[in-house]
Each structure stands twice: as structure tokens, then as C-alpha cells.
């Protein structure tokens, strides 16, 4: 039932499912209390003689009586299992859709706060040229500045002194080895000119949203007429 009140994409997916489950359980409860006893009294007028319970049933009854007689031990064991399950909270995934390894690395370049956009652009162009010269890199996309479009594409706080580069690799298995090499070489490139500059390279698990293209102008009606 709580899933019916979840917002966002997860709520849109699971709200009809949660309502269907709740309604079906309530209907099955009504059938179990009202319809099944009436049908049983109608059709099972002659019942077979009671047979002795099998070994499985006898074993279950014996186990159940032992648990009831030692209820504090059973309660302590249940609490211990519940507390132990909390240790798996960091291991079990929590995302709605499982993430898959991507062939893309995210390079974040951060210059001193006093750096102008022209200086950031110059540094980004040098980093882009160095990245494109490597054989294991397939493409490089640059997002620099603080316009609304760039803010939508960047994954961190943006400004005139920051830029992000999406680096696509030819092989996803090369991420671990290339990541440290890129971070070291790009930090050397940036810090030779800006000692307080910093470059970080992160793995990405989700692909960036598709590029949206908009055309505006007074001549559009005439063009599509």
C-alpha cells in the first residue's frame, strides 16, 4: 500500500500495481470468510474419516510446540536476524533500474575561482586535444560555462571556472586502467599553468540524455508550409 503514495517515476510505475494487490487481497479475504465456508457446507456433506497425521505434520507440530514453549529464545533469535539484515543495506541495490557499466568517463576540470570563461575554454581545448590523441578514446564532448543548457548537462555545480568532458572509450574494460592515467596526465597539464587547478575523473553508469534540437525563427512557417 505505501507504494501507492510514492512520487516520481517509481510511483507512476508501481501505483496501479499496488492498488491491484490491495484490492485483490481484500477480495480474497472476503471470499475466504463468506463464500468458502458456505460452499464447503454445501458440497462437503459427507467427510472422510480422519486419518493419522504423517511424519511431516507430526514433526511440524513438535517444532511448533517447542517454539511456543521457548518463546523468548525465538523472539531473541528473530530480533538478532532483523538486526543482522541491516548489515546488508549497503550491499543490496536501491535503484529502480539497475545501472550497467558504461564506456564513458566523466572528466571534471576546475580552475581557480578567479579564472574567466576564456581561460577555462583555452584550458579545456588543450585537454580535449590531449584526450583525442589517445588511441583508446573514441570521442570527447565538452560542457563549459554556466548557461542553462550546460547546467542541465553537467552533473556537478558549474561556473565560468569549471568544465566537464564526457570521454567515450573504445572498450568498457579499459576504464580502470585509463582512469588513473588520465587523471594524472590532465592534472599535470592543468597545474603547469594553474597550480591550484584540479582535475577529477569519474566513472559513469548512466548514459547522458539524448541531445534535443530546437529551431526558432520567423521563417519556420514559410519553410514547412
Q: Are residues 73 and 112 in the same domain?
A: no
Q: In which residue are the cell numbers 555545480 written?
A: 157
Q: Is residue 124 part of a domain?
A: yes
Q: Are residues 116 and 61 in the same domain?
A: no
Q: If you ran DSSP here, which 8-state letter would residue 70 be given?
A: T
Q: Are residues 121 and 64 in the same domain?
A: no
Q: Are residues 189 and 138 in the same domain?
A: yes
The count of structural domains within the chain is: 2
Q: Is residue 143 part of a domain?
A: yes
Q: Are residues 66 and 142 in the same domain?
A: no
Q: Is residue 212 part of a domain?
A: no
Task: For residue 175, give the C-alpha cell.
Answer: 576504464
Sheet of strand 104-110: strand arrangement: 137-144, 162-169, 104-110, 198-203
Residue-range definition of the domain harbouring residue 114: 104-203
One-character DSSP codes across 40-51: HHHH-SSPPPPP
How much is the pLDDT for 224? 46
Q: Round the CA-based radius of gyration of the chain to a whole number and report it.
A: 32
In order along its 225 residues, the chain shows pLDDT tens digits of 666 676 666 677 778 888 888 899 999 999 998 888 888 888 877 766 666 667 888 888 888 899 899 989 999 999 998 888 887 777 776 665 555 667 788 888 888 888 888 888 888 888 888 888 888 888 888 887 654 444 444 455 567 888 888 888 877 666 667 788 888 888 888 888 888 888 888 877 654 444 555 666 655 555 444
How much is the pLDDT for 148? 44
Q: Is residue 89 part of a domain?
A: no
Closest-CA residue to 178 (of 118, 131, 211, 143): 131
Q: Is residue 49 part of a domain?
A: no
Task: For residue 193, give the C-alpha cell.
Answer: 599553468
Surface-to-core class of residue 164, CB atoms within 10 Å of its CB (0-12 exposed, 13-18 middle, 19+ buried): buried
How much is the pLDDT for 222? 52
Q: Are residues 112 and 74 in the same domain?
A: no
CATH number of the domain to which 171 belongs: 3.30.70.1430
Q: Are residues 67 and 123 in the same domain?
A: no
Q: Are residues 113 and 199 in the same domain?
A: yes
Q: Are residues 128 and 76 in the same domain?
A: no
How much is the pLDDT for 1? 63
Q: Are residues 162 and 118 in the same domain?
A: yes
Q: Are residues 75 and 157 in the same domain?
A: no
How far apart are the C-alpha atoms of 50 and 39, rounded to whole Å? 21
Q: Are residues 70 and 137 in the same domain?
A: no
Q: Is residue 210 part of a domain?
A: no
pLDDT digits (tens, 9 = 90+) for 191-212: 888 888 888 888 776 544 445 5
Q: Is residue 99 part of a domain?
A: no
Q: Is residue 118 part of a domain?
A: yes
Angle at 199 between CA 198 and CA 204, to 5 degrees: 145
Amino acid at each position: 500500500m505505501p507504494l501507492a503514495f510514492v512520487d516520481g517515476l517509481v510511483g507512476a510505475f508501481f501505483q496501479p500495481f499496488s492498488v491491484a494487490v490491495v484490492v485483490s487481497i481484500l477480495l480474497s479475504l472476503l471470499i475466504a470468510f463468506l463464500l468458502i465456508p458456505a460452499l464447503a457446507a454445501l458440497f462437503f456433506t459427507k467427510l472422510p474419516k480422519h486419518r493419522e497425521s504423517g511424519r511431516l505434520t507430526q514433526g511440524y507440530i513438535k517444532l511448533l510446540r517447542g517454539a511456543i514453549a521457548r518463546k523468548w529464545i525465538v523472539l531473541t533469535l528473530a530480533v538478532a536476524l532483523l538486526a543482522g539484515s541491516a548489515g546488508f543495506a549497503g550491499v543490496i541495490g536501491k535503484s529502480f533500474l539497475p545501472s550497467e557499466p558504461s564506456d564513458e568517463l566523466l572528466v571534471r576540470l576546475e580552475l581557480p575561482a578567479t579564472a574567466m570563461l576564456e581561460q577555462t575554454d583555452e584550458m579545456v581545448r588543450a585537454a580535449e586535444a590531449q584526450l583525442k590523441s589517445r588511441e583508446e578514446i573514441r570521442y570527447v564532448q565538452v560542457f563549459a560555462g554556466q548557461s542553462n543548457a550546460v547546467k542541465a548537462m553537467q552533473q556537478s555545480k558549474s561556473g565560468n571556472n569549471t568544465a566537464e568532458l564526457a570521454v567515450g572509450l573504445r572498450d568498457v574494460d579499459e576504464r580502470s586502467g585509463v582512469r588513473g592515467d588520465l587523471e594524472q596526465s590532465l592534472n599535470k597539464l592543468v597545474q603547469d599553468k594553474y597550480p591550484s587547478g584540479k582535475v577529477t575523473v569519474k566513472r559513469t553508469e548512466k548514459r547522458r540524455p539524448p541531445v534535443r534540437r530546437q529551431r526558432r525563427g520567423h521563417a519556420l512557417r514559410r519553410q514547412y508550409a
